[in-house]
Structure 1
Amino acid sequence: MRKMRWAAAAAGAVLLIAGCGSESDSPQGRNGDAPSAGGSATAKAGSGDSLDIEAVRKEIDAAATTAGFTARQPADDIPPGLKSCTIRWQADGGKSTDSRKTYDVTIATLIKGGWKERGRAEEKQSVTMTMDKGGWNIMAWHHPQGRVDGTDWISFIANDTGPACEKPFQQDLADKTTNKQ
């Protein structure tokens, strides 16, 4: 299941980078905030601010911990080729008294910080959302009792959508496809 989540995240990032997708896709990655041809780690936000991997990591961590989440070590690590292109932040769902409210506050804080909502899907009590800023895309999930241990599953995965990360995402997706066969 975890490998499928990474494959889905990588596939989403590849589609986002490649500009492919169905007509029902949100406009993520196709706005004026797209990174310059110069690349990924120093992609410019619409406000002129420069975002690198550490700045994005700090924004997610600050928004989530200020809202009340406690970080937990992800069960599976980021593939080596994607470490400079991806951030994975997971909350310890068992330590939150109202994880959905805390998730909503985290999202609101990120949006106030300049992240633009690009898509949202809700099914029953679960919510999945995408946001982007300065050449980065965040995919945020909240699934009540979505983990095997019965705690809520809350995850924020940020992907650099710049050209420097296109090849590593494509390679990771190809590796996962090859390993399935």
Structure 2
Amino acid sequence: MRKAKWVAAAAGVVLLVAGCGSNDSSDKGGSNAKESGSTAGSEAGGGGAEAGGAELTADAVRTEIETAATGAGFAKSDRPENVPTGLEQCMVSWTPDAQKAADPKKSAAETVTALGKGGWKTEKTFSQSGSTITSLAKGTWQLKSSDHSAGPVKLVMFVATDTTPACEALFKADLEKNKKS
């Protein structure tokens, strides 16, 4: 039970981080690949406003994450997505079963690389105590890749949020609703 509480707390932190952050690339210690200019995602996943394609949908983002992650050696976890009701079109949470991956840290890094080849731009990477969090962006979507597989508990998560004004309003309303609960 203790492990489940820790996993739930970590998931909450990742979800909080996914909704926060800046796009100003002020993280001097991280990796900044904005100048990479890849447009491979335009053909593969519908592109995004930045790539001159149509806006990405939650289903398209989920498919891109799943394709990259399974190609890197992950299998999807049996746990349901941790997305609040009403935010399904604005948020995607994809969690692999990191315990079953041969090398979860390597698979997490390869997933980020594959997403980059699919048009996701790496904005920041933060590593500390064996954990790595990478922020990526594509169109109006922000994605946090969270790898905490170096310790005894193997936890890897991919959480994407749509930053359009409509979704931002839904996130704010959900936050306010939960404050009152």
| TM-score using structure 1 length | 0.74
Letter of the aligned partner of 2:170 in structure 1?
Answer: P
1:168-179 aligned at under 5 Å gives the runs 168-179=170-181
1:59-95 CA-to-partner distances (Å, cap 9, x unmatched) read: 0000000111000133663110211111110010111
Q: CA deviation at 1:154?
A: 0.5
Structure 2 unmatched runs, 5+? 1-5, 33-45
Structure 1 unmatched runs, 5+? 29-41
Q: CA deviation at 1:10?
A: 4.3
**Residue 165 (structure 2) aligned to one of 163, 166, 171:** 163
| TM-score using structure 2 length | 0.74
Give the length in aligned residue pairs.
Answer: 158
Question: Aligned pair 1:154/2:159, yes or no?
Answer: no
Question: Aligned pair 1:137/2:128, yes or no?
Answer: no
CA–CA distance in 1 between the matches of 2:23 and 2:106? Answer: 33
More strand by share: 1
1:74 and 1:88 in contact (8 A); partners too: no
1:3-152 aligned at under 5 Å gives the runs 5-6=11-12, 9-10=15-16, 12-13=18-19, 15=20, 44-50=48-54, 51-74=56-79, 77-144=82-149, 150-152=152-154
CA–CA distance in 1 between the matches of 2:107 and 2:121? Answer: 19
CA–CA distance in 1 between the matches of 2:109 and 2:155? Answer: 14
Query: % of aligned pairs identical?
Result: 30
Change (3 A) 1:7 1:99: closer
Higher RCO, Cα 8 Å, sep 6+: 1
RMSD of aligned Cα (Å): 2.9
Q: CA deviation at 1:3?
A: 5.8
CA–CA distance in 1 between the matches of 2:91 and 2:12? Answer: 11
